[in-house]
Amino acid sequence: MKNTSVTTGRVLKLSALILSVGALAMTGSLTGCAGDRYTQSTGEHIDDKAESTRVRGALSDDTQYKYDDVKVQTFKGVVQLSGFVNSREQKNRAGDLAKKVEGVKEVENNITVKETVK
């Protein structure tokens, strides 16, 4: 009888260890959804995607200029504009339009003005 209780005790301890390791792994995967300074959380990713879409919409709705060559990326509420426009006025206007979009915290206007060859 003594051997069976020792074996049962070892099995129970092993089972408890396996369950603990499994729970630890599951906890680690759940906290992996949180963002930090360099990565977005799931919620931030969704918000940033929506902000990029709203900024693209504001640029395409502009009656003064067309921004076909401008790309929009957002990370943690900071919108980055890149690409090409024909004038300094277009670049500034694109930045101003982006700043007015709801949810945008900051705009990094990295648009390049095309040089005209004379």
pLDDT at 82: 97
Where do we find the tokens 């509420």? 77
| pLDDT tens, residue by residue, 48-72 | 999 999 999 999 999 888 888 999 9
The band of 86, judged by pLDDT with boundaries at 50, 70 and 90, is very high
Give the tokens for residue 19.
Answer: 């369950």
Give the tokens for residue 111.
Answer: 């648009």
Give the tokens for residue 78.
Answer: 């900071």
Instruction: Please list the alpha-helical segments (H only) found in the chain.
Output: 2-31, 42-61, 88-99
